[in-house]
Amino acid sequence: MLWCAWRWPLWRSSFFYLDNIASSVRVSDLQLPTLHTSLVEACQILDLDVPELYVRQNPVPNAYTFAMRGKRPFIVIHTSLLELLTPGETQAVIAHELGHLKCDHSVYLTLANLLTLAASQLPLGEVLAQNLQSQMMEWVRCAEFTCDRAALLVAQDPRTVASLLMKLAGGSSCLVNELNVDAFLDQARSYDAISNDALGDALKQIRTQGLTHPVPVLRAREIDRWASSQDYYALVKNPPVQYNEDSSKGGWRNW
């Protein structure tokens, strides 16, 4: 998930950053060095400056990135998420968060929010603003697919990404040894089958229209498909080398 503070008052952004330092453990080569190595490796693959990484005690499995204008972004991972995942899956989560930075999603999200706010001031602005808000949420969900692809570029194993999505959907420390990625992908195909008629499509739209993330089975299916595409093989064989100097100044999102 992305927490974007581009329009926040300075005091609010500073308070959030201070609270994070006060209540989390900052990862470095001296503190949780295994996690730090995973972060650095993922940044090298995605060609990004290394942001700060924190581990925070929280019973809700989650990870997010916080971006402040002109400040170094930082990633936070909850302890409960680390307890669910393997080291490879954890690095994929980190890479997903880095994907938001690489794509400058925070810049586009801020622009969309400003456009929605401006539209609300026009005649019939409420209807226009609601339409823009709906389209913005669709874009936000599509951005998550992009970040899942960043996770795959780092993990280079679609089963790793699918496995962590499965664990987020229904995993716990007492269940992980019995979870099956192939069965989860079969479940995704069952989800697709619901779209055989107009009612199925409508039900899916109602289910997802207010969500910031696509449903987990859909994300797993999409990453499995992309892993077999020529686009993916081209990127793995010839990784991009052009570096966006501003990419570390944006921020982004929540698993």
Catalytic residue among 97, 138, 178, 222: 97
In DSSP terms, 76 is beta-bridged to 54, 64
Q: What is the largest CA-CA distance in the chain?
A: 58
Contact 56, 77 (CB under 8 A): yes
Query: What CA–CA distance (Å, rounded) separates 11 from 26?
Result: 22
- Most confident by average pLDDT, 15-19, 107-111, 126-130: 15-19
**How much is the pLDDT for 214?**
80
Helix (H) or strand (E) holding 55: strand 52-56
Nearest to 42 by CA among 174, 194, 160, 202: 160
Higher pLDDT pick, 242 / 63:
63
Query: What CA–CA distance (Å, rounded) separates 96 from 134?
Result: 24
Single pTM value for the model: 0.78
Query: What CA–CA distance (Å, rounded) separates 209 from 27?
Result: 36
Inform me whether the pLDDT recorded for 215 exceeds 80. Answer: yes
CA atoms within 13 A on the CB side of 178: 5
**How much is the pLDDT for 132?**
62
Q: Is 97 one of the catalytic residues?
A: yes
Q: How confident is the model at residue 141 (pLDDT cuts 50, 70, 90)?
A: confident
**How much is the pLDDT for 100?**
87
**How much is the pLDDT for 69?**
67
Q: How confident is the model at residue 71 (pLDDT cuts 50, 70, 90)?
A: confident
The whole-angstrom distance between residue 188's C-alpha and the CA centroid of its chain comes to 19
Structure token digits, residue 66? 């916080």
Burial of 148 (0-12, 13-18, 19+ CB in 10 A): buried
Query: What CA–CA distance (Å, rounded) separates 188 from 165?
Result: 12
**How much is the pLDDT for 245?**
38
Inform me whether the pLDDT recorded for 251 exceeds 50. Answer: no
Inform me whether the pLDDT recorded for 90 exceeds 80. Answer: yes
Higher pLDDT pick, 72 / 186:
186
**How much is the pLDDT for 7?**
46
Average pLDDT over residues 70-81: 88
Inform me whether the pLDDT recorded for 5 exceeds 60. Answer: no
Query: What CA–CA distance (Å, rounded) separates 129 from 114?
Result: 11
**How much is the pLDDT for 211?**
66
CA dihedral for 41, 46, 50, 52, sign (positive or negative): negative
Average pLDDT over residues 192-196: 68
Nearest to 246 by CA among 72, 45, 33: 72
What is the β-pairing status of strands 2-4 and 52-56?
unpaired
Residues whose CB is less than 8 angstroms from the CB of residue 180 and which lie 6 or more positions away in sequence, other chains included: none
